[in-house]
Amino acid sequence: MGIVSKGSTCDVEGCDEVAIRSLNTKKVEDAGLRVNSSGKKTALCKKCYKEWKKATKEDRSLERARYDRG
């Protein structure tokens, strides 16, 4: 059972909504989001997850292209 299924709240500073996803803390911090937790995983709500996706769109696209050998 993960942290999201246990009903945790968002770990981003100033946000206390219900979390829907959990990501690596370093990746979240690298995207510019300020995190309250110091563990390996950070729980994100829908709004903060959307911010993370926007901030890392280009990096994720390059990462996918590296492994796409179609």
Residue 67 has pLDDT above 80, yes or no: no
- Burial group, residue 63, by CB count within 10 angstroms (0-12, 13-18, 19+): exposed
Domain that residue 57 falls in: 1-70
Tell me the HSE value of 51 on the side-chain side, using a 13 A CA sphere. Answer: 15
Q: DSSP alpha helices (H): ranges in 1-70?
A: 25-30, 46-55, 57-67
**Phi/psi at 12 (nearest 5 deg)?**
-80, 140
For the chain, the domain total comes to 1
| pLDDT recorded at residue 38 | 80
Give per-residue pLDDT as tens, 8-60: 999 999 999 999 999 999 999 999 999 997 889 999 999 999 999 999 998 88
Rounded-to-5 percentages of helix, strand, coil across the chain: 40, 15, 45
